[in-house]
Amino acid sequence: MNTSAKRTVLTVIGAPAAALAVWALAVPVAGMTLTVRMGVGTQPVGPESVLMASLVAGLAGWALLALLERFASRPRRIWTVVALVVLALSLLGPLGSAVGVATTLVLLLLHLVVGAVLVPGLARR
């Protein structure tokens, strides 16, 4: 595996690791309960949800970048713009579904931390 591929894999793994670290500080350490509205009820945000959402985001970003590298003339620039737009749109989720101000802030931080790892990490690929 070449250096670029290793860096990409570490980035895709690093995003969930960073998100889980934030979740761990907020929930087990600080004693918060992260709850979101789902349909007609609520649901706690557990480590599995954090892991899966951030891993899916990383894999989707990697796949999009791979497609752009194959078919676009400026793949990294396009990818960075798309990634930042997706990150901005993803922030609407916690604003509309989080139960409470503290949960909203932690969920926004989770999104931003994943973006802070993925956007520059994959753009440098």
Q: Identify the residue with better confidence: 2 or 115.
A: 115
pLDDT exceeds cutoff 90 at 124: no
User: Residue 85's pLDDT is what?
Assistant: 98
* C-alpha separations of 95 from 23, 102, 106 in Å: 17, 11, 11
Please give the mean pLDDT across all residues of the chain: 96
End-to-end CA distance of the chain: 13
- Show me where the domains of the chain are located: 3-123
- Percent of the chain having pLDDT more than 70? 99
- For residue 119, what are the contacts with CB-CB under 8 A and spacing of at least 6? 80, 83, 84, 87
Instruction: Describe the crossing of helices 3-24 and 101-123 by its angle, rounded to 10 degrees.
Output: 170
The whole model's pTM is what? 0.94
In tens, the pLDDT along 55-102 reads 999 999 999 999 999 999 999 999 999 999 999 999 999 999 999 999
User: Residue 1's pLDDT is what?
Assistant: 82
Q: Identify the band that residue 125 occupies on the pLDDT scale cut at 50, 70 and 90.
A: low
The three-class DSSP label of residue 35 is strand
CA distance 118 to 86: 12
Task: Decide if 125 contacts 8 (C-beta within 8 A).
Answer: yes
